[in-house]
Amino acid sequence: MPDATAWQDLAREFRELDAPLGAARLERQWNDESEEWRIAGKVDLETSRRFRALAARAGEALPPADDAAGEHRWFRLMWERGGPHAPPVVGLMSMHGRASAGHVSVGRIEHPGRVAADLAAQLAAEA
């Protein structure tokens, strides 16, 4: 795990992205077999790339919990510790003319730059 200074640096870099991310949100869609994350809303491609690159760096600094990429590990930690978030919407997936394909859940993290910065600051305090 990085030291407090490294987490503080990440917190600062995430906080710098809060304004450029504006009203964007980090959306999560998952079911029993897969998980997808995307940055939704009005945000330019460069800001999205910078946020994802920072998330990957932060996630790689976390202890590995599974085979997920660093970016996904960070997003999951944001989901688990960065709340509260609105409850996810759960639906039933189906394919046209076929039986049910199972349940799918969709949720979102509002203000992902701020949430990521606050989480990195918490980790700095814990280091």
pLDDT per residue of the chain (127 residues) written in tens, 0 to 9: 678 999 999 999 999 999 999 889 999 988 888 889 999 999 999 999 999 999 999 999 998 777 778 899 999 999 999 876 777 777 766 666 666 667 788 889 999 999 999 999 999 999 8
pTM of the model: 0.86
What b/e readout covers 82-120, taking b as 16+ CB neighbours within 10 angstroms? Answer: beebeeeeeeeeeeeeeeeeeebeebbbebbbbbbbbbb
